[in-house]
Every structure is written in C-alpha cells, then in structure tokens.
Structure 1
Amino acid sequence: MENIKNNTVAGFVVNNIHTANIFKKYGIDFCFDGKISIEEACIKNDVNYKQLENELNDLDIKTNFLNDFNKWGLDFLMIFIIHIHHRYVKMNIPILKKYGEKAVKNQGKDYTELSEINKLIIKFSNELIIHMEKEETIVFPFIKRLFKANKEHSTISLSNFNSLNHPIKMMEEYHDKAGDILKKISKLSNKYKIPEDASLAYKELYKKLQEFEDNLKNHVHLENNILFPKAKKLVLEVVK
C-alpha cells in the first residue's frame, strides 16, 4: 500500500480526477486549499488519515483519457475551460441572482443571512465575469502562443514576449479571493442546509450555490494545478 501522507491534495487529484469525490466526501478542499499535504489536510479537517488512505489506495488507478486532464494538450484544455466552465458561469450567474433576489424578498426578514449571501453573490458574479474576460483575452492567448511554439520546436524572442508570470499570479490571487467568498457563503448558509419552511426560491438558491461551488472548484483546479504550472514550464523552454 502506498504511503501518501506527504503528497499534496491537489497533486493527487491532478493524477486522478476521481479522487476529488473522495476528498469532497471528507470535506477536504482539493482546489482552494489543495497545496497542503494529505496528512495536513486530515489534521485540519479532523479526518482519520488511515481511513482516507485506504479509500484512495483502493480506488481504481485507471482514468479514462477523457477525464485525464493532466494528459491533455494545453490548447485543448483551454478550449474545454472556456466552453464548459466559463460558459457554465455565464449561464448560471443570472439564475443565482434571480433566486437570491427572490429568496431575500420572500424570507429575508426571517433569515437575515440571505441578504448578506445575496450581496456576496452580486459582488462575486461581477468580479468573476471580468476575471474570465482577462483570461480569455490576455492569459490564454499567451499560453496558446507558447504551446504552438513548443509543438513546432521553435522559440520566442524574449524581446517579443511579455512576461506571463505576472498575469498568472493575478489570476491565482483572484482564485484565492473567489475561494474566500465561497467559504463565506458556505458558512452563512450552514453548508447550504435548507430550512424546513424554505420557499421554492430559497431551496433552488442553495441547490444552485452548491452546484456552482462544485463546478468552480473543478474549474479553478484545472487552471491552478494543471494549466498554469505547465504554462510556466513552457516559458522556460521556448522563450529565449
């Protein structure tokens, strides 16, 4: 049996995306808190390490190529992020706002946390749209150029290349900020626990927020733990 305590949570998920569901089951955040070791994550989340280790080691190590994002070309990975995750955000933000407004209107007096959650949704939504636009117009085109040069075994002149590290750092910093907002929403909602007398809008709001959080964690995981680290390596290989 493999001893995995010193592996990072994010690194484990990079190697097998199916382990994400196991970490989620134990309340371990593989995305926004994935840089720590599995042992540290167990201590932080009061999880029995041996029990988690057994489940992770028992998981089938074979991963279908369609789910093995770490083996995808960066060009294809960026297309996937844009058309699956960015599209999901753009389609679901109006739904979140609609349910948030209705829930506050219907039961905001009885559940005062709804007003604060709705404010966070509005703030979060506006910032996330701007963030994705920056990725699609600035960061991803840079990475696409690097990937193309590497594939063609060519180089890019340093004088013609603007540093990628700064914009990537800005993207990662926003991801941390987004993670903090999601944690606030989760705490305010008691981890999306729906009261017995909740209206339809209230129920749908919490269901959609949980779904949105899960999608965003997968989204940010692909960027922080696969796309950006590989892009940084490409800079060293093709920029001369």
Structure 2
Amino acid sequence: MTTFTAEHKPADIVKVFPKASDLFKAHRIDFCCGGDQPLKNVFTENHLDEADILSKLNNLYKDWSAEGHAVTDWESVPLNELVDHIIHTHHAYLNDELPALNQFVSKIFRAHGAKHPHLVELNRLFNAFKLEMEEHMVKEEADVFPLIKEYELNPSEALRTQIHQANDELEAEHDEAGNLIKQMRHITHDFQPPEDACNSYRITYARLAELEDQTFTHVHLENNILFKRI
C-alpha cells in the first residue's frame, strides 16, 4: 500500500484516494486548480503542520483501504466515457442545483441581509459563480468535449493543439470559479451558520458546502485527468 509523503501532489493523491479531498478541504489544501505541486510546498506556503497532516492522511488511507473500496481508474477509462461521466454527473448536478440554490441564497439575503451584511457579498459571489459555470458548461459541451471525442477516434496534432488552446481558457475559468467558491467559504466562516440562523439559512449553507465539494471534484476530473490525457 502506498505511503504518502510531502513529495506527493494533492491531485495525484485524490486520484487513488478520493476521500483525501475531505482532509484537504479541512486544511484549505487545493487539490483541483492548484493541486499540481508537491505537498511540501503547500505546507510551507500555508504554514501547516506537515507531520500531523501526513499522519492523518496515511491513517485515513490505511483504514479506507482495509474497507475494500473500489476506485474508478479515470486514467484508463476511454475519453468519451470520462466526458459523458462529467456531463451526466457533474454538469447535470449544476444544472439542477444552481437555479434551486439561487432561490435560497436570494431568500436569506432579502430576509437577513440588513442584520447580516455579509449576505450581500454572498449573493453577489454566488451569482457570479452561477453565471461563470453556466457559460462554462455550455462552452464545454458545445465546443470542447466534441473535439475530445473526435480526437479519441481520429487523433491528429492539429486537433490536439486546438484542444490544448481551448483547455487553457477552460482552466482559467476553473481558477475563477474556484476563487469564487473560496471567497464564499471565507465570508461564511466555512459555511457555518450563525446561532440564530433560521432553517432556510442552515439549508443554504449546507447546500453551498455540497456545491463546493461537487465543484472541486468536477474541476479535478477535468484539470488533472481529462485535459492532461490529451
């Protein structure tokens, strides 16, 4: 069984141990947009306890492995299947969740914004995220994903170059979406509602936390697996 060290990259760890994403999120360790650097760099930059986090990581991995979990090897799955998984799992989730969650964010902003001014900024950030991801998904499904499927059937250097150019723009959009999510987490104190929060308030924060989880997994699959395989 693998023992993770400070030389391992967060993105590579999550490929073999998906549950590591929970530990990384708890310590604000980026495994999607900025996940392609060794953990030792992250520990230094963020002033994190290397020994403590590595110990937790390896103990979790030992327990998880003993439970016999099966992990999909996205590095070997045909590209068209990986693309379809992203569309039918992650894009479908966002298409359903973004309009519904928008209603909750707007509701608590209108009801509690005067008393909790950070909800004004949360409303702005969420709407910026919603617009960014909706436009992003349309671009992927209409323009980029068909090119990737075509490349798998008929690979050529010209097509590969075209995909790489498109992916550079998509990765920049991923960075922007990731930054918006991080700002939402920051101003909501890690999505922890205040003590006097109503039920709608608590539901909104719980769904925002789930949105973060889904988004980071979604971006990880694209940045660190799909795009790198071309």
TM over 0.5: yes
Aligned match for 1:145, one of 142, 145, 150: 150
> What RMSD, in angstroms, separates the aligned Cα atoms of the two structures?
2.1
Q: Deviations over 1:134-165 (max 9, x none)?
A: 1011111111111123xxxxx5474x777111
Q: CA deviation at 1:212?
A: 0.3
Residue pair 2:105, 2:204 contacting (<8 A) in 1 also: yes
DSSP-derived class of the 1:70 partner: coil
Identity among equivalent pairs (%): 30
Distance 1:139 1:5 in 2: 35
**When the two structures are aligned, how many residues end up with a matched partner?**
224
Letter of the structure 1 residue corresponding to residue 41 of structure 2? E
- Alignment match, 2:70: 64
User: What are the ranges of 5 or more consecutive residues in structure 1 without an aligned counterpart?
Assistant: 150-154, 232-240
DSSP-derived class of the 2:162 partner: coil
User: What are the ranges of 5 or more consecutive residues in structure 2 without an aligned counterpart?
Assistant: none
- Alignment match, 1:19: 20
Q: Deviations over 1:171-211 (max 9, x none)?
A: 00000011111111111111111111112221111111110
- Alignment match, 2:226: 227
Q: Deviations over 1:35-76 (max 9, x none)?
A: 2211122233433212332343442467514x3323322111
Distance 2:58 2:200 in 1: 41
Distance 1:227 1:84 in 2: 15
Distance 2:75 2:16 in 1: 7
- Alignment match, 2:54: 53
Measured at CA, do residues 57 and 199 of structure 1 come closer, stay the same or move farther in structure 2, by a change above 3 Å? closer
How do 1:1-240 and structure 2 match up within 5 A? 2=3, 4-58=5-59, 59-60=61-62, 64-65=70-71, 67-149=72-154, 155-156=155-156, 158=158, 163-231=162-230
Distance 2:51 2:85 in 1: 35
Residue pair 1:32, 1:175 contacting (<8 A) in 2 also: yes
Distance 2:172 2:57 in 1: 30
Distance 2:157 2:194 in 1: 60
Q: Which of structure 1's runs of 4+ aligned residues deviate more than 6 A?
A: none
Residue pair 1:193, 1:206 contacting (<8 A) in 2 also: yes
Letter of the structure 1 residue corresponding to residue 227 of structure 2? F
Structure-2-length-normalised TM-score: 0.88
Distance 2:136 2:51 in 1: 39
Letter of the structure 1 residue corresponding to residue 55 of structure 2? N
DSSP-derived class of the 1:198 partner: coil
